[in-house]
Structure 1
Amino acid sequence: MTQDDPTAGAAVPDGEGGPTAHRRPGRKPDPGRDAEILDAALQVLAEVGYAGMTMSAVAARAKAGKGTFYRRWPSKAELVLDAVGHMKRSQADLDRLPDTGTLRGDILALFKPASVEEGEYQLTIMAGLASMLSQDRGLAEAANDAIVEPWAAANRVLLGRAISRGEIDSAADVETLAQIIPSIAAYRALIQRKPFDRDFLISIIDGVLLPAVRP
């Protein structure tokens, strides 16, 4: 729990827990309200960085009651990971995956070009995440779940379709292949601090992914 937690030592209503916390019986979280809070967390992270970000600032930005807020996200790290995962899942919506008839077309259609402003915003968020990970390497697995897994899940579906069409080898290692593009994207954003643009995506699809899955 962060130092700016006003609920430390106080009783907090049941019903909401952090991403890794045991969820107790009670009122269920409101997905719509959670999304608003997570968006607020991303905004604050982008504005002041991880070191300058406080739980109180996010609660104030989202106009969230601090009791349930701290119960839902007991620590700043959990909040940031949940917020970044929320952003990635919204970009790779499993309920709205493209179906162009080819694996190459599907992956390209999944990519949504960002404006210059949006690209810079996302890079700033990732810089804040990188700062957090440099302070606590124990969060690496949780960070992978937030950054890589949403896109890998989408790629598993697209690769599965391609196998069903006979487009790629049925013996292809789908689990490994699904992680290639999102892992490279994460490295490019976190380490190189560069945007993952369409031209770079095409180079990975044509130079790495497709040669690996051709029958």
Structure 2
Amino acid sequence: MTQVDQAEVKPRLGRKRDHTRDPEILDAALDVLSESGYDGMTIDMVATRAKAGKATVYRRWSSKAELVLDAVACMKQGEIDLDDLPDTGTLRGDLVAMIRTPSIRDGERKLKVMAGIVSMIARSPELAAAAQEALVEPRARANRIFFRRAIDRGEIPADVDVEKLCIIGPALVSYNVLMLGRPVDRDLLVENIDKVILPAAGIRAEP
């Protein structure tokens, strides 16, 4: 085979994929998902929101399911730093110290994303696992530390169900946002702590 023939059969490398726009596309996917739900979401809608070409999105994700899975998984980034949690000396103080304006906004967005993928979760164990890890576990891990500290201090009984206590707060917030359409603010979260979570943990409300 001549050098010319060898050159002709040499495989050509495809164009290297550009991943620099991935964060914008994934963020746009989360916005569309929270607004339209999985069934109402389309790749066109995501591309428009991200100001990207549809072909650009499809070169990176071959299906809507793949895009949603990556978008949900990326929400885990920037999760709570367990090495930098508040330690006020009381369970109430720790829980209240976690109420910050950015975390409230982030929490509401996560709830809307969760609502958007409900129809898909039952059909996709992989998506269900990603949602649990990205949307639920970050705050649950922090809460477990707070409740276990309280047990170690003797502030709450050692036999309390820590896992159930971790669920109460998010469940109340979910009901207000998704069922009642009410925004979550600091007053609501403090009220949940004082009137529901602490009594459930065995701490009587102050008169």
What is the TM-score normalised by the length of structure 1? 0.61
Letter aligned with residue 117 of structure 2: M
| 2:5 is equivalent to residue 54 of structure 1 | no
- For the 8 Å contact 2:29–2:68, the answer to whether it is kept is no
Quote the residue 1:206 is aligned against: 194
Secondary structure class of the residue paired with 2:30: helix
> Which runs of structure 2 are paired with 1:131-146 in the superposition (5 Å)?
131-134=116-119, 137-138=122-123, 141-142=128-129, 143-146=131-134
Quote the residue 2:82 is aligned against: 94
| 2:58 is equivalent to residue 70 of structure 1 | no
Structure 2 residue runs without a partner (length 5+):
1-18
Q: What count of residue pairs does the alignment treat as equivalent? A: 180
What is the TM-score normalised by the length of structure 2? 0.63
> Which runs of structure 2 are paired with 1:52-201 in the superposition (5 Å)?
52-54=41-43, 57=46, 61=50, 69-70=60-61, 75-83=66-74, 85-86=75-76, 90=78, 92-114=80-102, 119=105, 123=108, 126-127=111-112, 129-134=114-119, 137-138=122-123, 141-142=128-129, 143-201=131-189
Q: Percent identity?
A: 38
Quote the residue 2:14 is aligned against: none
Quote the residue 2:9 is aligned against: none
Quote the residue 1:42 is aligned against: 30
The CA deviation string for residues 60-87 of structure 1, in whole angstroms up to 9 with x for no partner, is: 9498x7688438x96233134324x42x
User: How large is the Cα RMSD of the aligned pairs?
Assistant: 4.1
**How far apart are 1:154 and its partner, in Å?**
1.0
Quote the residue 2:15 is aligned against: none
Letter aligned with residue 122 of structure 2: R
Secondary structure class of the residue paired with 1:148: helix
The CA deviation string for residues 76-117 of structure 1, in whole angstroms up to 9 with x for no partner, is: 33134324x42xx635332321111111111111111259xx
Distance in 1, matches of 2:135 and 2:45, equals: 25
Structure 1 residue runs without a partner (length 5+):
1-29
- For the 8 Å contact 2:47–2:57, the answer to whether it is kept is no
Letter aligned with residue 54 of structure 1: I
Shift in alpha-carbon separation, 1:187–1:138, aligned structure 2, 3 A:
farther
- For the 8 Å contact 1:148–1:183, the answer to whether it is kept is no
- For the 8 Å contact 2:26–2:67, the answer to whether it is kept is no
Larger Rg: 2
